[in-house]
DNA sequence: CGGGTAGGTAAGGGTAATGTATTACA
DNA sequence: GTGTAATACATTACCCTTACCTACCC
């Protein structure tokens, strides 16, 4: 495929066009990342991106005199197969680093008529169980019977219905914690990254007593920390707040929804999970009076002053003594994350240069 | 016909919002 | 000791990506 061009990486606009027009799956994307340095974005849509998408749709409608109903027909065509490639490409162009598939999925989710209906009622669970019993895991059909989005039915089923009789709630016993630690650490052996942990499997190995979500949260937010410190409890301190504020400051994002929390911890500071760190940020933010009406940079201005100095007495935050991966020490050649400048932002950028991996 | 692909569903993997129990501390 | 704010621990709705399937096109 046309490696012709020059020695320079393909132009950005060329990539933007590809992303907005070609329906590429994961493999295809990975291939382009490797072969011609394609850069694209993954992860949650930031507030800014959501706004851009909405404006693009609004614009699409007004320039063509389309009604709300027409728009709905485009997003969810009734039976006829009128593919509206123009629509999806145009909307995708509003968020340059996103592949068309991601935008397509996002918009269909966000505008689904049955979206967001809050807590599940017992009657709904009953309908769900009934539907799955008769139809099997055909979620689109099940959704019709239950009155919830297919994906929500699937989630409810796998997270709360399966093994429901065995499910245990409340605080974890020491035995359970030990069991989970054993399972997770065993699974990690021979794996390269902790992303190789399959929480559905873990839940099964716990004999269904705890759901995949319970297992995952318990491990990432609590047990992994204890494991790293050999049982010592590490509490969040001012020095941690200091580090966090300055890390976020260094990102230079326009809005905190653009922060990729997974990228915050590093080899020196990694006791707290991305989830925990994100929550700490929220707490700090909320402690500022009137934060609701402030922009991200205004909030940063205040926090920067508040945490201007590293508390001198503070012991440096403990660093994991157990390297993330078995006994091999991870060198961490200093990140060279392809932080493609500030223009990008939010979620994770996927680019050439594979960071990782070591392997053997 | 046969490979390629657009457009859809299912499965896999994860986070955000919120509630509740503990702990720190004035 | 007491009230309250911060933090730890739980719960679950909600979200995004990848795998897979199928009708359709050249």
Lowest mean pLDDT among A131-135, A241-245, A318-322: A318-322
Strand (E) or helix (H) holding A177? helix A174-188
Helices (H), A37-121: 47-64, 68-75, 85-93, 100-110
Nucleotide nearest to A173 (CA to C1'): C9
Query: Considering chain A, what is the average pLDDT of its residues?
Result: 72
- What are the residues with a C-beta under 7 Å from any atom of nucleic chain B? A 22-25, 44, 77, 81, 83, 85, 88, 137-141, 150-151, 154-155, 159, 171, 195, 197-201, 213, 216-217, 220, 235, 261-262, 274-275, 278-279, 282
**Residue A112 in 3-state DSSP?**
coil
Q: Distance (Å, rounded) from C-alpha A263 to C-alpha A247? A: 10
Mean of pLDDT values over A330-358: 41
- Summarised one tens digit per residue, pLDDT across range A230-283 is 555 556 667 777 778 878 888 777 777 777 777 777 766 766 777 777 777 777
On the question of pLDDT at A86 being above 90, the answer is no
Q: Distance (Å, rounded) from C-alpha A184 to C-alpha A241? A: 29
Lowest mean pLDDT among A145-159, A174-188, A271-285: A271-285
On the question of pLDDT at A320 being above 60, the answer is no
Å: A181 CA to C13 C1':
27
- Summarised one tens digit per residue, pLDDT across range A4-48 is 333 334 455 577 777 877 787 777 777 777 777 777 888 788 888
Query: Phi and psi dihedrals of A42, rounded to 5?
Result: -120, 175
Task: Name, in order, each residue with C-beta under 8 angstroms of A152's C-beta and a sequence gap of 6 or more.
Answer: A117, A143
Look at residue A153 in the predicted model and tell me its pLDDT. Answer: 92
Å: A51 CA to C12 C1':
27
Which is more confident, A175 or A231? A175
**Which residue, counting CA atoms, is nearest to the C1' of nucleotide C5?**
A287
Burial of residue A210 (CB within 10 Å: 0-12, 13-18, 19+) is: buried
Task: Name, in order, each residue with C-beta under 8 angstroms of A134's C-beta and a sequence gap of 6 or more.
Answer: none
- Summarised one tens digit per residue, pLDDT across range A285-317 is 766 766 666 777 877 887 777 776 665 433 333
- Residue found by looking up tokens 């709300």 in the block: A68
Look at residue A306 in the predicted model and tell me its pLDDT. Answer: 73
On the question of pLDDT at A338 being above 90, the answer is no
Nucleotide nearest to A170 (CA to C1'): C10
Å: A151 CA to B15 C1':
16
- Residue found by looking up tokens 């030990």 in the block: A178
Look at residue A156 in the predicted model and tell me its pLDDT. Answer: 92
Q: Distance (Å, rounded) from C-alpha A104 to C-alpha A66? A: 19
On the question of pLDDT at A114 being above 60, the answer is yes
Nucleotide nearest to A279 (CA to C1'): B16
For chain A, what percent of residues have pLDDT higher than 70?
69
Nucleotide nearest to A283 (CA to C1'): C6
Mean of pLDDT values over A187-193: 54
A234's torsion region: left (phi>0), alpha (psi -120 to 50) or beta? beta
Look at residue A9 in the predicted model and tell me its pLDDT. Answer: 43
Å: A80 CA to B5 C1':
19
Mean of pLDDT values over A192-208: 69
């Amino acid at each position: 495929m046309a490696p012709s061009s020059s020695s320079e990486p393909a132009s950005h606009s060329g990539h933007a066009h590809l992303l907005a027009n070609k329906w590429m799956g994961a493999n295809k994307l990975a291939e382009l990342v490797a072969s011609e340095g394609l850069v694209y974005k993954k992860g949650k849509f930031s507030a800014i991106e959501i706004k851009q998408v909405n404006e693009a749709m609004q614009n699409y409608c007004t320039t063509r005199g389309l009604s709300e109903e027409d728009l709905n027909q485009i997003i969810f065509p009734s039976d006829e197969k009128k593919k509206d490639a123009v629509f999806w490409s145009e909307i995708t162009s509003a968020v340059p680093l996103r592949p068309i598939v991601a935008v397509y999925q996002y918009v269909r989710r966000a505008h689904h008529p049955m979206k967001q209906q809050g807590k599940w009622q017992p009657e709904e669970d009953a309908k769900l169980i009934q539907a799955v019993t008769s139809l099997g895991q055909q979620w689109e059909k099940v959704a019709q019977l239950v009155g919830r989005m297919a994906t929500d039915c699937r989630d409810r089923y796998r997270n709360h219905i399966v093994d429901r009789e065995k499910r245990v709630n409340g605080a974890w016993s020491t035995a359970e914690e030990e069991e989970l630690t054993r399972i997770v650490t065993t699974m990690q052996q021979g794996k390269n990254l902790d992303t190789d942990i399959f929480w559905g499997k873990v839940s099964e190995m716990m004999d269904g007593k705890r759901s995949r979500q319970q297992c995952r949260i318990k491990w990432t937010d609590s047990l992994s920390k204890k494991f790293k410190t050999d049982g010592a409890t590490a509490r969040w301190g001012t020095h941690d707040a200091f580090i966090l504020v300055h890390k976020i400051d260094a990102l230079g994002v326009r809005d905190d929804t653009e922060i990729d929390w997974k990228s915050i911890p590093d080899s020196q500071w990694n006791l707290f999970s991305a989830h925990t760190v994100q929550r700490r940020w929220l707490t700090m933010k909320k402690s500022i009076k009137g934060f609701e009406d402030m922009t991200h940079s205004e909030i940063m201005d205040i926090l920067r002053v508040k945490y201007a100095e590293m508390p001198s007495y503070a012991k440096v935050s403990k660093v994991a003594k157990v390297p993330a991966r078995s006994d091999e020490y991870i060198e961490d050649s200093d990140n060279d994350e392809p932080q493609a400048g500030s223009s990008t932002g939010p979620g994770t950028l996927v680019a050439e240069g594979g960071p990782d991996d070591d392997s053997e």
